[in-house]
Structure 1
Amino acid sequence: MRKPTIVTALAALITISGTANAEDHNSAEPAQPKLVVAISVDQFSADLFAEYRSSFTDGLKRLANGVVFPSGYQSHAATETCPGHSTIMTGVHSGRAGIIANNWIDQSIEREDKTVYCAEDERIAGTSFGDITAATQGDFVASAWHLLVPTLGERLKKISPKSRNVAVAGKDRAALMMGGHDVDEIYWWQGKGFSTLKGRKIMPAVARLNEVIGAKIDKARPAFEIPASCSAHSAKIMHGEGKSVGEYAFERPDGAASIYRGSPDFDRSIIAAATAVINDMKLGQGEATDVISVGLSATDYIGHAFGTEGLEMCIQMGELDRSLGDFFDILDAQEIDYVVMLTADHGGLDLPERMSQQGVPTAQRIDPDLNAKTIGKKVAAGLNIPGDKPVLYADGPFGDYYVSLELSEEQREQVKDSAIALIAAHDQVEMVLDRDDIASIEIPRGSPEGWTLAERARASFNPDRSGDFIVLLKKGITPIATTQRGYVSTHGSPWDYDRRVPILFWREGIQHFEQPLSVMTVDIAPTLGALIGVEITADQTDGQCLDIDGGPANSCE
């Protein structure tokens, strides 16, 4: 079990000036905040937080002066956007939430495209998600249908009907996984403005913001000013066919709206949308506590397009700091009693070309032949299985692999055994895990940094959605074979550079405390729930509630 000092330390979270202090907080219970602001910064690793922490002067500095957990963990193996966001406001591991990956395979669905997107409702006839990395993501209906558990905002609404549950994000999967099914308002970026659930109207404040964004997004934008502290990060790194990263300051020519997401301006638009919703709905100003989840996505798009260690990320960290500072200033000016939690859905790995220059011998791009299609053909040929239909399915080179259901049971076992042996022998593969072996493992407890790879995979596992076997790559392997489509680096591994994220709490008058021991993102919902009077019992969470002296009772016991 994790050390009890973690729980005790979080008592600082509710020691608010004017209501309690270190001497008398056992005798005074602070008022519940009127607004919970839960922020996820996509791909904001613990490494990034540590690297740039000393340079923060605004919003992130404020948070760093609150309650700080520099070693938070997205403890599961499938460190992707949808699974990560599914843990933050539910308090359960991604497998239990039903979100095993961004995409998975469901051979039973009645459409040619068997790939299911975590934030779609594939039950709707005529829909198809297509390719998540493409500019057009197919004709699908965004939905939280796949999320199997309630979020904190949904739990709050059940016991407090006057409370509002809102989500705003740069990605539909971020908004839906943090907001859940029962949301009063929900928005995410789509094309050149913010969209919402099918059948709902966009509120006037967001519609006006869309008009403002639409009027400027296609216009040229000068480069950001390069801070002196970022000059050391500026260095050309060649990759692909004569392309480079490391020197870009986000200037845009006319007509370049398609690259808007990969710039600090994108986070400012998301914060502007969140602010518009807060102002229009008067969140935090009513009788009951409200919840708004905010998913900031620019860091992820920048990390994918330029890596985590160049000029581009340095500029982004400074702009993220300023954008958050402006956001908090707006809330301060409205005299809202709010509590902020900030974390990330996953970390990230820098592009291998720069890592190689820095002397990291394990940094490689993945073998383009390590994929379900190529492996499946080899297996079928070796087993003399006739026909040209695939025998293996997967969404990518790592993660869940599925054996075709059109084969006989005997053939399926042969294909699985042969494929596992072939993939496990590859020098870029760390481990291949059979689903039966994963299912037999108890849900891990205790400090997540000590979990085995199989235990990490277990936290992502769902018996109804996970594959027949799961492929885990070795450290330093980037699962992108080429950079022709604009992505040079990524995440998704079971390694700590993808799992470790900061977890930060702040409220006016909070006493600064830093806890170096590991915690998990599944601890966030129980923590906030205890603060606002939402009981999340031990059987409803994989996390840890707070034993807070002078505050709400510990709902885990």
Structure 2
Amino acid sequence: MRNFLLAAAVAAAAASPAAAQPATPPKLIVAISVDQLSSDLFEAYRPHLTGGLKRLADGGVTFVNGYQSHAATETCPGHSTLLTGRHPAATGIIANNWTDQGAARADKSIYCAEDERVAGSTSSTYTVSPEHLRVSTLGDRLKAADPRSRNVAVAGKDRAAVMMGGRALDQRWYWDGKAWASDVRQAAELPGIAQFKASWAARFAQAVEPLDPPALCQARATPFQITPAMTIGNGRFGRAAGDNRGFRASPELDDVTLTLAALVTAQMKLGKGPATDVLSIGLSATDYVGHSYGWGGQEMCLQLLSLDQSLGRFLGWLDTQAVDYAVVLSADHGGQDAVERLRAAGNLKAVRADPGLAAGEMGKLLAPQVGRPAPVLFGDGVGGDVWLDRAISAADRPKVLAAAVARYKAHPQVETVFTAAELSATPLPSGDPRGWSLISRVRAAFDPSRSGDFYVVLKEHVSTVAKPGPGYAASHGTPWDYDRRVPVIFMAKGLKPATPATSADTVDILPTLASWVGLPLAPGSVDGSCRTEAAHCR
């Protein structure tokens, strides 16, 4: 593993006999998201972990049946739940991108972490902003309760840093595809940032040799040809100098993210002030690796073992800082392996989605049927939210909607379709997410002002990657449990380790942490519940 941290060895995690509550309110809460870490993936590798993931799993309260309970299992919606205690229906973050036909620009696709009001902004070239997040994060709430609290976010993706950090940020840093960047005005003034950027630029300008896989990973190195020009399964993460894609889809991204998080923590003296501070860390490489290679091959094996060691060094470094810190770790969503690997293992239900399911393609077929010129439908991808063309008259909309829903429902890869009217009439779900119906899962991410006119649910094991290519062999984004089920781990001094059989929801994280630090929550201000397995809930 390439060690980019100036970190000490990991200190032993002492199992405390104390009750389920930190001994004292922690002065620093470290909230970690491992993008696309499904519980299936976590459990498959847990016996082989020796570093930070093992320390957290063995030394904390570990819910393997945690859930991103909603249907919109994408990066932005998932991160919006982690530190807000709210489902996407309340956060307003219904997807990574949604369609707003009233947007005052030619590009009607809205990126979740942009401010489209900025002149020249598009969904792909945008100004990073928390504008679309409608609720407060833990860091926002703590700063409102005590302005001396510091709120910092560092991530491999801007949307992870935005959705975990919120609005009241002291520092926010993320990899923007070319450099480490920030949308917080005072961020560049932090001592050490210029030196970090210079060191990083020098490192990035050098080629990286492939990793040497251990036997565990070599056993998974079976190649699968996805396209004539694309083979996955036996990669080792070597990269050329300046290779952006090679960097982000490799263990190197998480290692550097943790390095930057350590730098900001040290220079701001997080956890050493008069109030509790929050450090949010978005570790994005597992998602990029999962998309690029799936999770059953040598690449994901190398990624998780490397992440485990990088996280172990980071926690060991925190141990040396004389800071009373606590950790919560979860994920924004899970994921499904590459279809080709699943089918080779006997899962013949695993198929790639028909490209014709894309809203634009379906809209072209539908237009003549309803006597209209294209376009008739708008949407992003092959499932999820679909919008009717706003130019359709009020009198014609019911006919067009019925025809569109019928066409989608008739497709053999579609499980069902829910209209906005059906979702609006469905109560917001609560309770154990394992028992939620499909419509409840979709309802938890339905916002009538942003969501589509109807929502398409693909059948289980239908991959949302219809046309694979470099960087996209596998994906997520469905309401099925392989995309919803994620670990939720709480670790703090004085917290008794446990592995509850009960389920947890990611919206339970905020109320549980609030109990740790004595932060009052107004009734009805969160969707989740404080977990008695990890806190003395009030």
Give the TM-score taking structure 1 as reference length.
0.91
Query: Is the Cα–Cα contact under 8 Å of residues 18 and 494 in structure 2 kept in the other structure?
Result: no
Amino acid at match of 2:210: A
Deviation larger for 477-486 or 42-51: 477-486
Matches within 5 A, 1:178-257: 178-197=164-183, 199-202=185-188, 203-257=190-244
> CA 1:101 to 1:360, structure 2 compared with 1: closer, same or farther past 3 Å?
same
Which of 104, 110, 125 pairs up with 2:119?
Answer: 125
Query: Is the Cα–Cα contact under 8 Å of residues 530 and 537 in structure 2 kept in the other structure?
Result: no
Query: Is the Cα–Cα contact under 8 Å of residues 363 and 476 in structure 1 kept in the other structure?
Result: yes
Which of 279, 295, 298 pairs up with 2:266?
Answer: 279
Distance 2:395 2:210 in 1: 61
Query: Is the Cα–Cα contact under 8 Å of residues 29 and 279 in structure 2 kept in the other structure?
Result: yes
Deviation larger for 310-319 or 237-246: 237-246
Distance 2:46 2:383 in 1: 32
Specify the SS of the correspondent of 2:154: strand
Distance 2:179 2:96 in 1: 23
Q: Does 1:150 align with 2:115?
A: no
Deviation at 1:199, TM superposition (A): 4.4
Q: Does 1:260 align with 2:247?
A: yes
Distance 1:363 1:546 in 2: 36
Deviation at 1:368, TM superposition (A): 1.3
Query: Is the Cα–Cα contact under 8 Å of residues 80 and 164 in structure 2 kept in the other structure?
Result: yes
C-alpha deviations, 1:347-402, integer Å up to 9, x for none?
000010111111101111111111111211221101222x44x1110011111000
C-alpha deviations, 1:288-332, integer Å up to 9, x for none?
110010000000000000001100000111001001100001110
Q: Does 1:486 align with 2:479?
A: no
1:92 equivalent in structure 2? 86
Deviation larger for 151-160 or 410-419: 410-419
Distance 1:414 1:190 in 2: 43
Instruction: Report sequence identity in percent.
Output: 46
Query: Is the Cα–Cα contact under 8 Å of residues 23 and 493 in structure 2 kept in the other structure?
Result: no
Deviation at 1:477, TM superposition (A): 0.7
Q: Does 1:62 align with 2:48?
A: no
2:482 equivalent in structure 1? 497
Specify the SS of the correspondent of 1:375: helix
> CA 1:353 to 1:341, structure 2 compared with 1: closer, same or farther past 3 Å?
same
Q: Does 1:21 align with 2:14?
A: no
Specify the SS of the correspondent of 2:304: helix
Specify the SS of the correspondent of 2:428: coil
Q: Does 1:166 align with 2:152?
A: yes
Which of 276, 279, 282 pairs up with 1:292?
Answer: 279
C-alpha deviations, 1:513-543, integer Å up to 9, x for none?
1112111000000000110111123301110
Deviation at 1:546, TM superposition (A): 3.9
Q: Which stretches of structure 1, 4 residues or more, deviate above 2 A after TM superposition?
A: 198-201, 203-207, 253-258, 546-549
Specify the SS of the correspondent of 1:286: coil
Deviation at 1:493, TM superposition (A): 0.3
Deviation at 1:485, TM superposition (A): 4.0
C-alpha deviations, 1:430-467, integer Å up to 9, x for none?
11101110111111112111111000000000111010
> CA 1:278 to 1:201, structure 2 compared with 1: closer, same or farther past 3 Å?
closer
Which of 354, 363, 369 pairs up with 1:376?
Answer: 363
Distance 2:446 2:73 in 1: 12
Give the TM-score taking structure 2 as reference length.
0.94
Structure 2 regions of 5+ residues with no counterpart? Answer: 1-13
Deviation at 1:200, TM superposition (A): 4.5
Deviation at 1:16, TM superposition (A): 8.9
Distance 1:353 1:272 in 2: 36
Note the aligned Cα RMSD (angstroms): 1.8
Q: Does 1:40 align with 2:33?
A: yes
Distance 2:533 2:336 in 1: 36
Structure 1 regions of 5+ residues with no counterpart? Answer: 1-14, 130-136
Distance 2:518 2:88 in 1: 24
Query: Is the Cα–Cα contact under 8 Å of residues 16 and 30 in structure 1 kept in the other structure?
Result: no
Specify the SS of the correspondent of 1:204: coil
Query: Is the Cα–Cα contact under 8 Å of residues 83 and 137 in structure 2 kept in the other structure?
Result: yes
Query: Is the Cα–Cα contact under 8 Å of residues 23 and 494 in structure 2 kept in the other structure?
Result: no
Amino acid at match of 2:226: H
Query: Is the Cα–Cα contact under 8 Å of residues 35 and 283 in structure 2 kept in the other structure?
Result: yes
Distance 2:525 2:184 in 1: 30
Distance 1:313 1:63 in 2: 20
Query: Is the Cα–Cα contact under 8 Å of residues 218 and 257 in structure 1 kept in the other structure?
Result: no
Query: Is the Cα–Cα contact under 8 Å of residues 76 and 93 in structure 1 kept in the other structure?
Result: yes
Distance 2:65 2:309 in 1: 24
1:522 equivalent in structure 2? 507
Query: Is the Cα–Cα contact under 8 Å of residues 142 and 198 in structure 1 kept in the other structure?
Result: no
Specify the SS of the correspondent of 2:208: coil
